[in-house]
């Protein structure tokens, strides 16, 4: 059986903190599972609320390239602080066939129970997207019912003369696009006489 390649992601929010305790525990976990640490990604002194995390961005790029088989973190909040960010990361792992393990929360998508958790999180994400879509549609319908113009506002309002001229231009273009009448092979319309003049 092929040994699974593991990406370890660790993060601390403060510069005074150290990622070593997380890393040591995760390395021990990987060793117990008989896996191989491919690379450790460290974000030192970076808040989980920000999306500008160099190590995390590098990790996600490697995941898309298929460089690893399993992503291991200490806790969910080390990987993502918001539900949307967590779901986005989990869906990325699932789309590229990478298992996700949160050691302290006993979530392991390589096992049946962990796969169930994965599916539940995905269902919650889909439900949330459906609610947002329904709210947007309801808001648009309410705005239309109240006579509110939707879309980008015009740069300026056309005068009556400009509007009339624009309609005439559109009508002229429509006439020009009308295809010419062709004469079919079975038509009784005589073909025009063509006279060839010899060159002197």
pLDDT tens, position by position, 155-189:
777 788 888 888 888 888 777 766 655 555 555 55
Question: Does residue 12 form part of some domain?
Answer: yes
Model confidence, pTM: 0.59
Specify the number of domains making up the chain: 1
The 10s digit of each residue's pLDDT in 43-71 is: 888 776 676 788 888 998 999 998 999 99
CATH of the domain at 60: 3.40.50.1390
7 forms beta bridges with 39, 71
Specify the pLDDT at position 200. Answer: 46
Of residues 77, 82, 67, the one with CA closest to residue 43: 77
The 10s digit of each residue's pLDDT in 83-110 is: 777 777 888 888 888 999 999 887 888 8
Question: Does residue 72 form part of some domain?
Answer: yes
Selected catalytic residue, list 13, 25, 67, 110: 13
Domain boundaries, position 106: 5-121
Question: Does residue 88 form part of some domain?
Answer: yes
Question: Does residue 133 form part of some domain?
Answer: no
User: What is the three-class DSSP state of 100?
Assistant: strand
Question: Does residue 171 form part of some domain?
Answer: no
Annotated active-site residue 13? The verdict is yes
Alpha carbon distance 165, 147 (integer Å): 27
């Amino acid at each position: 059986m092929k040994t699974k390649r593991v990406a370890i992601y660790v993060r601390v929010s403060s510069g005074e903190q150290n990622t070593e305790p997380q890393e040591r525990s995760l390395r021990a976990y990987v060793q117990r599972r008989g896996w191989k640490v491919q690379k450790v990604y460290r974000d030192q002194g970076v808040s989980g609320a920000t999306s500008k995390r160099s190590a995390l961005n590098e990790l996600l790029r490697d995941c898309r390239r298929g460089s690893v088989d399993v992503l291991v973190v200490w806790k969910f909040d080390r990987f993502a602080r918001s539900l949307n960010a967590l779901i986005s990361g989990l869906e990325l792992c699932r789309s590229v066939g990478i298992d996700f393990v949160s050691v302290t929360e006993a979530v392991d998508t390589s096992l049946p129970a962990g796969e169930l958790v994965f599916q539940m999180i995905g269902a919650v994400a889909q439900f949330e997207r459906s609610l947002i879509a329904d709210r947007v549609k309801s808001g648009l319908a309410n705005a239309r019912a109240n006579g509110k113009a939707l879309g980008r506002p015009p740069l300026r309002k056309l005068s009556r003369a400009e509007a009339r001229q624009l309609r005439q231009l559109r009508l002229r273009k429509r006439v020009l696009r009308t295809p010419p009448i062709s004469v079919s092979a079975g038509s009784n319309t005589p073909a025009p006489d063509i006279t060839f003049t010899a060159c002197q």
